[in-house]
């Protein structure tokens, strides 16, 4: 092949992508003697086009996958589509297209875009969750979960749009109104399917402790979400003998500080009393109105309604506490009722001060032990119990234990654990999702669809021009025979939450037999995923649900592992500055896209009228701010390798990456610079060695490898730049020629097309494999990783005063003597003897005068 003076990225991209496909380069080898590496990026939703965030995510995963191949791993690196969900139905309603057609078209075009990036993906494993082959197996797993008692049906509220006759997701409710119809949203009670994730609350919490290679931030977010609280649950008796209600507290130690009891406006007792108390009914209605408005929550004013009822204090029946209905008690946490201890809870104190209720001190951290508590700041710190009868003098923990044991002994309460985590409601009253495989029969009740009748396939002939769930309205689909009695019955018309689809796809990538969800033996080989990469927006729900499914399948004996993702990495966003002009009072600014703009050193102008525009902050690329850059346009202009290189450069991968035209141009120039260097693999000069360059080369081999392994791509990029600089500056030698050759392999994971092109242009004897995709990562020579001379800093009183170059590994006395012999140091010391000399071998000498 004749070597072109410039690297033709477009032709090369297509050529090597075809070559990899022809050679089936990225299929797993399934050779047992190689260690496995399962590299997975979160699969995309097929929204239409890929965006720069995808490019960054998949570039990172790809570098790691290619590096693992080069270092002798059997790599599983698959791609698929999270293909069910609401946008497809929205498109159907807006554009009159079919959700399935819209989704499949999007997949086709996005697949094409991803392939242009040259990703080392085993495309034979591609899957889409909207494919019956996939969701049919999901239905089978759902039936298994049902059989294992992990699926239940419960009544639950949904947001109901009375105009569109549809259920709305929380994010579709804006200021209490449906986003499309603008109608006031109602709460409607429906019978829905739930997965019992709360059965695993403790396991999911404990399991976080073992996830060492997950970001602390994500573990903390999951911990808070699961929200374990331990405390006491007990019953209040109403004065007068009527049945009371249960309360939960995490502070049973403060029980003698109780001055009122409070129940939620949604508490059944409050609702019952409201039936013959119009004022209470009005108060409850008022609380519910406020609940929807975000600003009201911000201000957080405590409101209450005195029911006139009183309850007995459990440890002192003579003491009666008033019962209030209170807006800050939530029905869906704990028991929906509390006792108020204003001295030691800020919310209770705010409330008590407003309604002039008594405030009793029961915890003291100083000499101040007065029963009457003053001030507007509750004391929530440590201390000893006071004014609390048999608890006096105990620590908080001792008092908690004493109360719990007394309550349990006397039978009026018990120690309990309360979780913030709720069971996972998976019913969606929508068409474009996995049909829930159940049948409702008048005589037999709710019956699972027999497995041999799976998949329950979505009907294609659906109509989105009328409102409501198309499955429910479909003329024939839902009418079936009961599998149990053979009588008339109807199908469940709810579909599964799309988070179910993404809770097990990593298993199906590893193994996808046609007759069952996966083959346990194959799953055993590949799972867990060694490195999972995706956006932090999935820190809670997706990652928690996937962990739950893995544990559930483990409990059912279907898989060996309990955690699906051994190592998790959450990457930052791609950002861009914004360009806008003010449109005057009360109007939003007018935004411009980057291609409408001419950027100069100190500002930006609109190309069309050459007048200035305002350059705004660097923020996440979004359509509304128009600060988006289309990956296809970048690939057309610069090719895949420049785009990949820029994505990996400069910013640490967990941080946001500011996209800039100058940045991608810099990447492009570097691609060309490397191309020129790669032409020098035979230029050996006089054939001599260059020891200094050899060191730099081998340090780079080791350093770049370490950085890639740790996902420190920006550091790997910097080291490659530095090496390229060193090679360019070096005189031709055998070492330099070898460095040029080795550099091709060092950049191969990041710039695979350039590397293949350079590899193919090498003389045959220099190529050890046909494709560089099959080449091995170079080995660093340990002897060359350390320098034999070191520069040692000489400090006086911590300030740098001189440096000296010495042989590596000299003992402290020699180094100290050398430092003190330096003329500059002698001059500064002026003949005085230093008080102290600290020597850090091979690093520095610090002289304390």
**Residue 165 or 804 having the CB closest to RNA:** 804
The CA distances from residue 569 to 64, 174, 212, 629, 835, in Å, are: 12, 33, 12, 24, 50
Shortest Cβ distance from residue 655 to RNA (Å)?
A: 4
CB closer to RNA out of 633 and 848: 848
Token duo for residue 543:
């990652």
Instruction: Give the residue with the Cβ less far from RNA, 18 or 169.
Output: 169
Which residue lies nearer to RNA by CB, 123 or 333? 333
Residue placing its CB nearer to RNA in the complex, 75 or 667: 667
Question: Nearest distance from residue 822's CB to RNA, in Å?
Answer: 9
Please, are residues 821 and 837 in contact by the beta-carbon 8 Å criterion? no
Rounded to whole angstroms, what are the CA distances from 77 to 13, 119, 510, 645?
A: 20, 9, 9, 20
**DSSP-derived 3-state class of residue 505:** helix
Of 59, 64, 58, nearest to 648 by C-alpha is 59
**Strands 568-571 and 445-448: what pairing?**
unpaired
Rounded least distance, CB 554 to RNA, Å: 27
3-state helix, strand, coil in the chain (%, to 5): 40, 25, 35
Interatomic CA distance for residues 360 and 342, integer angstroms:
7
CB of 773 to RNA, least distance (A): 26
Cα–Cα distance, 802 to 819 (Å, whole number): 9
Residues 6+ apart with CB under 8 A from 576: 594, 618, 619, 621, 627, 628, 629, 658, 659, 660
Q: Which is nearer to RNA, 275 or 299 (CB)?
A: 299
Q: In the bound complex, what is the minimum distance in angstroms from residue 502's beta carbon to RNA?
A: 17
Tell me how far, at minimum, the Cβ of 650 lies from RNA, in Å. 4
| 3-state SS track over 329-385 | CCCCCCCCEEEECHHHCHHHHHHHHHHCCCCECCEECCCCCCCECCCCCCCCCCCEE
What's the min distance (Å) between Cβ of 344 and RNA?
Answer: 9
Cβ atoms within 10 Å of 246's Cβ, excluding its own: 14
Backbone dihedral angles phi then psi of residue 447, each to the nearest 5 degrees: -120, 135
Closer of 652 and 685 to RNA (Cβ): 652
Closest to RNA by CB, 17 or 498: 498
DSSP conformation class of 574? E
Q: Which of 298, 295, 350 is nearest to 326 (CA)?
A: 350
Minimum distance between the CB of residue 619 and RNA, rounded to whole angstroms? 9
Residue 824 CB, nearest approach to RNA (Å) = 5
User: 153: part of which helix (H) or strand (E)?
Assistant: strand 151-161
Cβ closest to RNA, residue 1 vs residue 662: 662
List of E strands, 595-682: 597-600, 603-606, 612-620, 657-658
Question: Nearest distance from residue 323's CB to RNA, in Å?
Answer: 15
Smallest gap from Cβ 161 to RNA, in A, equals: 23
Q: Nearer to RNA by C-beta: 212 or 515? A: 212
Q: Between residues 301 and 595, which has the closer beta carbon with respect to RNA?
A: 301
Strands 127-128 and 80-81: parallel
The two tokens of residue 263 are: 């129940």
Task: For the CB of residue 753, give the shortest distance to RNA in the complex, in Å.
Answer: 19
Q: Which is nearer to RNA, 126 or 246 (CB)?
A: 246
For 240, the 3-state DSSP assignment is: coil
Q: Which is nearer to RNA, 105 or 813 (CB)?
A: 813
- Cα 66 to Cα 34, 240, 258, 465, 776, distances in angstroms: 15, 76, 64, 48, 10
Q: Which is nearer to RNA, 310 or 714 (CB)?
A: 714
H-run or E-run covering 838: strand 836-840
- The least distance separating RNA from the CB of residue 94, rounded to whole angstroms, comes to 27
Beta bridge partner(s), residue 789: 807
Tell me whether the omega of the peptide bond preceding residue 752 falls within 30 degrees of 0, making it cis. Answer: no
Smallest separation (angstroms) from RNA to the CB of 519: 37
CB of 172 to RNA, least distance (A): 17
Give the Å distances, CA to CA, from 47 to 93, 179, 654, 793: 15, 20, 24, 57
Residue 483 vs 663, nearer CB to RNA: 663
């Amino acid at each position: 092949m004749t070597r072109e003076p410039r690297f033709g990225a477009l032709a090369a991209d297509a050529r090597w992508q075809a070559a990899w496909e022809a050679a089936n380069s990225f299929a797993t080898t399934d050779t047992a003697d190689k260690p496995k590496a399962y590299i997975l990026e979160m699969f995309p939703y097929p929204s239409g086009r890929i965006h720069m965030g995808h490019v960054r995510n998949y570039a990172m995963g790809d570098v790691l996958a290619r590096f693992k191949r080069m270092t002798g791993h059997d790599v599983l690196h698959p791609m698929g589509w999270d293909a069910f969900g609401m946008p497809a139905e929205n498109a159907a309603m807006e554009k009159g297209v079919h959700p399935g057609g819209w989704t499949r078209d999007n997949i086709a075009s996005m697949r094409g875009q991803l392939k242009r990036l040259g990703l080392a993906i085993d495309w034979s494993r591609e899957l889409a969750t909207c494919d019956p082959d996939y969701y049919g197996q999901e239905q089978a797993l759902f039936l298994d979960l049902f059989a294992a008692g992990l699926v239940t049906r419960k009544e639950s509220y949904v947001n109901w749009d009375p105009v569109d006759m549809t259920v709305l997701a929380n994010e579709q409710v804006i200021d209490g109104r449906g986003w499309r119809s603008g109608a006031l949203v109602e709460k409607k009670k429906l019978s829905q399917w739930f997965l019992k994730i709360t059965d695993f609350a403790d396991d999911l919490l404990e399991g976080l402790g073992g996830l060492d290679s997950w970001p602390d931030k994500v573990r903390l977010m999951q911990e808070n979400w699961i929200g374990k609280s331990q405390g006491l649950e007990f019953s209040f008796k109403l004065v007068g003998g009527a049945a009371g209600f249960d309360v939960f507290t995490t502070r049973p130690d403060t029980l003698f500080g109780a001055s009122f009891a409070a129940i939620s406006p949604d508490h059944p007792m409050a609702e019952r009393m409201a039936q013959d108390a119009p004022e209470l009914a009005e108060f409850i209605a008022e609380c519910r109105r406020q609940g929807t408005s975000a600003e009201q929550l911000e201000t957080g004013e405590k409101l209450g309604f005195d029911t006139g009822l009183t309850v007995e204090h459990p440890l002192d029946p003579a003491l009666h506490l008033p019962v209030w209905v209170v807006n800050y008690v939530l029905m869906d946490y704990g028991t929906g009722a509390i006792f108020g201890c204003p001295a030691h809870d800020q919310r209770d104190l705010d409330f008590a001060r407003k309604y002039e209720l008594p405030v009793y001190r029961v915890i003291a951290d100083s000499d101040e032990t007065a029963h009457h508590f003053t001030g507007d700041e509750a004391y929530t710190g440590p201390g000893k119990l006071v004014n609390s009868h048999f608890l006096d003098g105990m620590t908080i923990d001792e008092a908690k234990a004493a109360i719990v044991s007394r309550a349990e002994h006397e039978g009026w309460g018990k120690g309990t654990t309360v979780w913030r985590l709720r069971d996972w409601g998976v019913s969606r009253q929508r068409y474009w999702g996995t049909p829930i495989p159940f049948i409702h029969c008048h005589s037999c009740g709710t019956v699972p669809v027999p497995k041999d009748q799976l998949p329950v396939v979505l009907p294609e002939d659906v109509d989105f021009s009328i409102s409501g769930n198309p499955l429910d309205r479909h003329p024939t689909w839902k009418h079936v025979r009961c599998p149990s009695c053979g009588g008339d019955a109807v199908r469940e018309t709810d579909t599964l939450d799309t988070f179910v689809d993404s809770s097990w796809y990593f298993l199906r990538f590893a193994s996808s037999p046609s007759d069952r969800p996966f083959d346990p033996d194959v799953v055993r080989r590949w799972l867990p995923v060694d490195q999972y990469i995706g956006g932090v927006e999935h820190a809670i729900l997706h990652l928690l649900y996937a962990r739950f499914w893995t544990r559930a399948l483990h409990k059912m004996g279907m898989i060996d592992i309990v955690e699906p993702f051994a190592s998790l990495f959450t990457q930052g966003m791609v950002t861009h500055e914004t360009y806008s002009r003010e449109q005057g009072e009360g109007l939003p600014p007018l935004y411009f896209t980057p291609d409408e703009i001419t950027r100069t050193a100190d500002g930006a102008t609109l190309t069309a009228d050459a007048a200035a525009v305002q350059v705004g902050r660097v923020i996440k690329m979004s359509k509304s701010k128009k600060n988006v850059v289309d990956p296809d346009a970048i690939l057309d202009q610069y090719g895949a390798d420049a785009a990949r290189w820029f994505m990996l450069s400069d910013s640490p991968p967990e941080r946001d990456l500011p996209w800039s035209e100058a940045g991608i141009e810099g990447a492009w120039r570097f691609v060309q610079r490397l191309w020129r260097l790669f032409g020098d693999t035979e230029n050996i000069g006089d054939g001599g060695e260059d020891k200094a360059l050899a060191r730099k080369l081998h340090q780079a081999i080791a350093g770049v490898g370490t950085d890639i392994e740790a996902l420190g791509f920006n550091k790997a990029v910097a080291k490659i730049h530095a090496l390229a600089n060193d090679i360019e500056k070096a005189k031709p030698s055998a070492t330099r020629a070898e460095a040029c050759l080795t550099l091709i392999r060092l950049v191969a994971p990041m710039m695979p097309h350039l590397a293949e092109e350079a590899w193919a242009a090498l003389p045959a004897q220099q190529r050890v494999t046909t494709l560089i995709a099959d080449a091995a990562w170079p080995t660093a020579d340990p002897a060359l990783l350390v320098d034999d001379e070191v520069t040692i800093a000489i400090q006086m009183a911590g300030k740098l005063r001189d440096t000296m170059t010495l042989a590596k590994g000299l003992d402290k006395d020699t180094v100290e003597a050398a430092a003190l012999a330096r003329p500059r140091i002698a001059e500064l010391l002026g003949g005085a003897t230093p008080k102290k000399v600290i020597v850090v071998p091979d690093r520095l000498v610090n002289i304390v005068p």
